[in-house]
Structure 1
């Protein structure tokens, strides 16, 4: 499990699946997503975050180009869990 604790209100952690998907991306995409994920520590102030609907309604998504980053928020522990990521066509299946 990868963890990043920034000077902010939330700690960012990656699930095993989140790490696996990040490693599958090409380097340029992975760097871009890594840069954007840092902002999740203050995700409530971002206008690019959307609450998901349907079976994923407990999750949120952030768009980074053509890639969607799916994350969950543990309010009790002030933790944002990056649980999955992928291209729009396949991430919601």
Structure 2
């Protein structure tokens, strides 16, 4: 199992969402942390190189992975039309 670390900006993003949506995203990230070895992460390109995305309906969670320390760091959470513009 990987440890989940939520950066302050990601926590703020999550707090702005409706509670059921935020809970769904939180649950999906917890599932990812528990099952990361069985998942192929989706890498981003360009200026987001080294960052991965997780789709949760119309929302995206942008995160990085430290495999050595078994840690997933969540950087941003947002709607797919906005999250990459930040």
Equivalenced residues, count: 84
State the TM-score, normalizing by the size of structure 1: 0.83
| Post-superposition CA distance 1:25-47 (Å, at most 9, x none) | 00110111111011221324235
State the TM-score, normalizing by the size of structure 2: 0.89
The reply on whether 1:28 has 2:20 as its aligned counterpart is yes
* Corresponding residue of 2:70: 78
Instruction: Tell me: higher relative CO, structure 1 or 2? Use CA pairs within 8 A at least 6 residues apart.
Output: 2
* Corresponding residue of 1:40: 32
CA RMSD of aligned residues (A): 1.2
Structure 1 residues not aligned, in runs of 5+: 1-7
* SS in structure 2 at match of 1:92: helix
* SS in structure 2 at match of 1:77: coil
Separation in 2, partners of 1:38, 1:67:
16
Q: Which runs of 4+ in 1 moved over 6 A?
A: none
The reply on whether 1:57 has 2:69 as its aligned counterpart is no
Structure 2 residues not aligned, in runs of 5+: none
Separation in 1, partners of 2:62, 2:37:
15
